[in-house]
Amino acid sequence: MLTIEKLNLMSTNEFTDVIGDIFEESAWIAAAAALERPFASVDDLHQSMVAIIQRTSRTIQLNLLEAHPNLGEKIAMSHASSKEQRAAGLTNLTSKEYETFLSLNTRYHQKFGFPLIIAVRGKDKKIILADMTKRLHNDASLEFQIALAEVFKIAWFRLNDKIKQ
Catalytic residues: 68
Helices (H), the chain: 4-9, 12-19, 27-34, 42-54, 58-66, 79-87, 95-112, 125-135, 140-162
Please state, in angstroms and as integers, the Cα–Cα distance from residue 99 to each residue in 70, 104, 115, 124, 129, following that order. 13, 9, 16, 17, 12
The rounded radius of gyration (Å) of the Cα atoms in the chain is: 16
